Amino acid sequence: MKMTSQLLSGCLKAFSCVSLSILPLVLSTAVQAQEQSPAKSSCQSALSTPEKKSQLKQPQKIAQIQDTTSQERSLLVQQANDLYSRRDFKGAEKTLCQLVKKYPRDTFAHFQLGNVFARLSQPEAAISAYREAIRLNSKYALAYNAIGAVYANQSRWEEAITEFKKALEINPDYGDALINYGQALWQTNQKEQAQASLEKALNIFKKQQRNEKVYQVEQILQRIKTLDNPGVS
């Protein structure tokens, strides 16, 4: 049974509607190791490619803003979100690479860059970017969940389970991670734990009145029930 298509949706769909938040650097590691990372290599390649003029267009009111640090960040974030919403993932990649080059301590920018690499089918670069976000903020549950989703998309179930568990250790009520964890457990034949995780996610989404998510989990549970009992319709 393949249920991997849902696993990436939770951490990728909401890219364009999430505002960028800047988290302080709390850890310091060797820069040399970072320079050899897949994410770093992908960014070097992206930044060496000439930009298309269409990617440089900005709203008039943004273009006229005085060039300060916070405004420059806002402009890059707005551009990345716009490109991503238009499914121009290469354009979003270049913009986010510019952002992390200028502001390497920008935790959320690394996370969003990981989302773009995942969309571009660059799993190692995606994981590398997510790991950098975690290096900057060890409590980044979203990044752990995203790494798990990349592993799950490769059917690396045990590794995926490890990452989902880390996300849930940080936030036990993280609904999307509970969905992903449940599906990964099912793939490794841990059926009772899988159902418990999915039912917990269902209850959380019902309390939050997130009807789309409620429907999604109900469909997964129904599919699991059907697969476990072929004679039951």
Residue 87: CATH number of its domain: 1.25.40.10
The answer to the question of residue 27 being in a domain is yes
Same structural domain for residues 23 and 133? yes
The answer to the question of residue 68 being in a domain is yes
The answer to the question of residue 5 being in a domain is no
Last residue of a domain, one of 102, 137, 172: 137
Last residue of a domain, one of 118, 137, 156: 137
Same structural domain for residues 41 and 115? yes
**Cβ-proximal residues to 13 (8 Å cutoff; 6+ apart), any chain:** none
Same structural domain for residues 95 and 131? yes
The pLDDT tens digits of the residues spanning 71-89 come to 889 899 899 999 999 999 9
Rg (CA), the chain: 19
The pLDDT tens digits of the residues spanning 114-129 come to 999 999 999 999 999 9
The pLDDT value recorded for residue 70 is 82
The answer to the question of residue 80 being in a domain is yes
Q: In angstroms, how far is the first alpha carbon of the chain from the final one?
A: 17
Q: 């793939």: which residue's tokens? A: 187
The answer to the question of residue 8 being in a domain is no
Last residue of a domain, one of 92, 115, 137: 137
Same structural domain for residues 162 and 116? no
Same structural domain for residues 172 and 113? no
At 19, is the pLDDT very low, low, confident or very high (cuts 50, 70, 90)?
A: very low
Same structural domain for residues 23 and 120? yes
Averaged pLDDT of the chain: 81
The answer to the question of residue 192 being in a domain is yes
The answer to the question of residue 208 being in a domain is yes
Which pTM does this prediction carry? 0.76
Count of domains forming the chain: 2
Name the residue type at position 85. S
Same structural domain for residues 145 and 125? no
Q: Look up the domain containing 197 and give its range.
A: 139-233
Same structural domain for residues 170 and 160? yes
Same structural domain for residues 124 and 32? yes
Same structural domain for residues 131 and 145? no
The pLDDT value recorded for residue 22 is 25
Q: Are 12 and 120 in contact (CB under 8 A)?
A: no
Same structural domain for residues 153 and 220? yes
The pLDDT tens digits of the residues spanning 167-207 come to 999 999 999 999 999 999 999 999 999 999 999 999 999 99
Q: How far apart are CA 96 and CA 211, in angstroms?
A: 32
Q: How far apart are CA 83 and CA 91, in angstroms?
A: 6
Same structural domain for residues 178 and 208? yes
The answer to the question of residue 4 being in a domain is no
Q: How far apart are CA 156 and CA 64, in angstroms?
A: 48
